[in-house]
A = this chain, B = another copy of it.
């Protein structure tokens, strides 16, 4: 059973994990160095623990204790309790959904483990927006994708915002980092996947045709601003496009991914 510790000082060093949550750059390095990530909201905290992550600690206002009773009973991490206004001083914003948890990251899985048994995987190159990464995990999980591979520079799926938007799909979907950016797609081809890159390139095929008859599929997505690198676009087995009305800016990457996953799920 987690021990409840009432605190009164927002500067208490035991709250270090929860400080300045709005400062993205600071959080990125802090969380990486300490091997932790944050979950926000009762539902997400619950899913993180159900997903097999261990808590370093919890932080919440008194009124949230009861709703997390069962979860806290299964953990031996301390539960720091503070009035809401003081929590806001620690985190830098008003935590609408109650509880926060600081959780230990697992070691990254191997590509072999992530791909074992997968028929449909998403491969994200250099997405920078945590909202998009979370939305893509969620859409992929809902529409039948089994796993996610990330290029070395893709935004972190365990960042607080990714987790929240992903509604916990980042806990239930196997994922890892690709160790080698340059040969990532040829390597997937060698493993028996057909790599299909979503692009706006002139020579691309409508997505439905591109995935037709494909058994093991790796759907490859580029960054928000510039799309895929020339290397990835060029080294994919196929290039696919979502047919769009002329003269319109393309779909954003999260919407395009949802459409492509839907088309792929029906192959």
A209 to chain B, nearest CB (A): 13
Within 8 Å CB of A251, what residues of B? Answer: 138-139, 142-143, 258
Contact between A244 and B167 (Cβ–Cβ < 8 Å)? Answer: no
Contact between A138 and B249 (Cβ–Cβ < 8 Å)? Answer: yes
Within 8 Å CB of A262, what residues of B? Answer: 242, 259, 262-263
Considering the chains assembled together, what is the distance between the CA atoms of A109 and B143 in angstroms?
37
Q: Is the CB of A106 closer than 8 A to any CB of chain B?
A: no
Q: Is the CB of A236 closer than 8 A to any CB of chain B?
A: no
- Taken together, the copies of this chain in the complex come to 2
19 residue pairs from A and B, CB less than 8 Å apart: A135-B252, A135-B255, A138-B249, A138-B252, A139-B252, A142-B249, A143-B245, A165-B252, A168-B249, A169-B249, A242-B262, A243-B265, A251-B258, A254-B255, A255-B257, A256-B258, A258-B259, A259-B259, A262-B263
Known: A169-B249, A243-B265. 20 other contacts (CB 8 A): A131-B131, A135-B252, A135-B255, A138-B255, A142-B244, A142-B248, A142-B249, A142-B250, A142-B251, A143-B242, A143-B251, A143-B259, A167-B249, A169-B248, A251-B258, A255-B255, A255-B258, A256-B258, A259-B259, A262-B263
Instruction: Report which A residues bind B (CB closer than 8 A).
Output: 131, 135, 138-139, 141-144, 165, 167-169, 242-245, 248-252, 254-259, 262-263, 265
